[in-house]
């Protein structure tokens, strides 16, 4: 029997490779003769650059940049030299992981460092840049990123907008392009389909997770609306309603507007990079997973992508997750869903014991598969 394990990370508990290795360990306890292949996955969120770099044999490049609150940092991105391909994550410069607990300040947080990383890769001679849009601490529509690339933003009477505050965009009147800016093609890998504005937009859906209180939502919404209006007036493009424009606090919109980037589902980008379909063609069974299986899974997350590809190729598909909702549409993607959550177990304990519970679930799946194989073998003999 050949089995392919292609999970995403369990955020805060295990990386994608650790998830896959623990599932494999549990399977081998029961299915000793099975051939097991591991393909760690991502979908544009954190971990995307690492997964692609491992698959393509990248090295890591460092550059000076700024974190969401303007502090100088050393940022890293993957570099595939034979392709002159840079693979980066916006969270490396502008992510929540750059902030200490209780340090988030969405009124000041910006994407300046993302622009600095893009510029560094361009100056190095990149022929293409892939950037994952996940884990952001920002809600600036790519305003800071554009400033990092040399764009200038002006308010009334020709004065430059104050600092990098997203709220200052409410006063925006004019944008000036930088001279001689040359960027390679950029692919923005996203795991959400939200537009920039509205009830399903960046501010109303993701803003509260970053500290936007209800009384300030309209202010941030007006700021991003003004940015979209001026971009449309001056540049003749309007990406505010494009799926993924609202990713990473509107950075998807900013990358399309200021860099000519193309938005693509992150799962597709990663699957192509690691050759997932070719690796799946000759297996009998596919296992995927992530920390939480719920309605958001359907919006382009790894388990849904793996499941759809498996079904396209006629493969049996199972999911192993930290916890799962009872949503019927999500559940029907898989022949079976095994979750680490146990009755009476706290979220903290679930995460702490993630590796152990994955091995336990994998053994249970393996016993089920072995029993089915035995029955089929008996039927053939009779």
Q: Write the pLDDT tens digit of every residue in 226-238.
A: 999 999 999 999 9
Q: How far apart are CA 211 and CA 229, in angstroms?
A: 25
Domain count, the chain: 2
Residues 56 and 155 in one domain: yes
The answer on pLDDT for 372 being more than 80 is no
Domain boundary pick from 234, 266, 298: 266
Residues 213 and 116 in one domain: yes
Contacts of 345 (CB under 8 A, 6+ apart): none
89-117: average pLDDT: 94
**CATH number of the CATH domain containing 178:** 3.90.1510.10
Residues 325 and 217 in one domain: no
| 213 phi/psi in degrees, rounded to 5 | -80, 160
Give the H/E segment covering residue 263.
Answer: strand 262-265
Residue 346 — very low, low, confident or very high, per pLDDT cuts 50/70/90?
A: very high
Alpha helices in the chain, H assignment, sequence order? 16-30, 48-56, 91-94, 112-123, 143-149, 217-235, 247-259, 266-274, 276-280, 302-312, 328-331, 347-352, 354-381
Whole-number average pLDDT of the chain: 94
Domain boundary pick from 266, 285, 302: 266
Q: How far apart are CA 91 and CA 313, in angstroms?
A: 34
| 259 phi/psi in degrees, rounded to 5 | -120, -5
Residues 35 and 122 in one domain: no
Q: Is residue 154 exposed (0-12), middle (13-18) or buried (19+ Cβ within 10 Å)?
A: middle
The answer on pLDDT for 376 being more than 80 is no
The parent domain of residue 294 ranges over 2-39+275-381
138-166: average pLDDT: 93
Residue 163 — very low, low, confident or very high, per pLDDT cuts 50/70/90?
A: confident
Q: In what order do the strands lie in the sheet with 35-38?
A: 35-38, 2-5, 285-288, 316-321, 336-339
């Amino acid at each position: 029997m050949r089995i392919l394990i292609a999970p995403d990370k369990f955020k805060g508990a295990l990386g994608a490779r650790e998830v896959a290795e623990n599932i494999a360990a549990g399977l081998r306890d029961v299915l000793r003769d099975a051939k097991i292949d591991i393909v760690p996955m991502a979908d544009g969120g954190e971990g995307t650059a690492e997964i692609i770099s491992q698959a393509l044999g990248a090295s890591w490049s460092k550059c000076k940049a700024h974190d969401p609150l303007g502090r100088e940092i050393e940022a890293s991105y993957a570099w595939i030299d034979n392709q002159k391909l840079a693979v980066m994550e916006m969270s490396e410069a502008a992510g929540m992981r750059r902030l200490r607990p209780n340090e988030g300040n969405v009124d000041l947080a910006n994407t300046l460092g993302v622009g600095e990383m893009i510029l560094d890769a361009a100056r190095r001679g990149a022929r293409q840049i892939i950037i994952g849009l996940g884990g952001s601490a920002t809600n600036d529509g790519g305003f800071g990123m554009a400033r990092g690339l040399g764009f200038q933003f002006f308010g009334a009477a020709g004065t430059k907008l104050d600092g990098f505050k997203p709220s200052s965009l409410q006063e925006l009147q004019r944008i000036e392009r930088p001279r001689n800016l040359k960027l390679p093609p950029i692919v923005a890998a996203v795991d959400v389909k939200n537009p920039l504005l509205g009830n399903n937009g960046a501010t109303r859906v993701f803003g509260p997770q970053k500290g936007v209180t209800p009384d300030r939502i309209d202010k941030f919404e007006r700021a991003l609306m003004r940015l979209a209006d001026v971009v449309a007036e001056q540049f003749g493009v309007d990406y505010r309603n494009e799926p993924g424009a609202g990713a990473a606090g509107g950075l998807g919109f900013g990358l399309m507007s200021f860099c000519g980037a193309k938005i693509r589902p992150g799962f597709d980008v990663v699957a192509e990079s690691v050759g997932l379909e070719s690796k799946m063609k000759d297996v009998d069974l596919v296992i995927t997973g992530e920390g939480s299986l719920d309605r958001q899974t359907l919006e382009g997350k790894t388990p849904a992508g793996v499941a759809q590809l498996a079904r396209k190729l006629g493969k049996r598909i199972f999911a192993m997750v930290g916890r799962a909702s009872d949503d019927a549409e999500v559940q029907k993607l898989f022949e079976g869903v095994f979750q680490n959550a146990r009755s009476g177990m706290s979220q903290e304990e679930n995460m702490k014991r993630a590796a152990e519970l994955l091995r336990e679930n994998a053994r249970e799946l393996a016993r089920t598969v072995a029993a089915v194989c035995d029955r089929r073998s008996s039927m053939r003999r009779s």
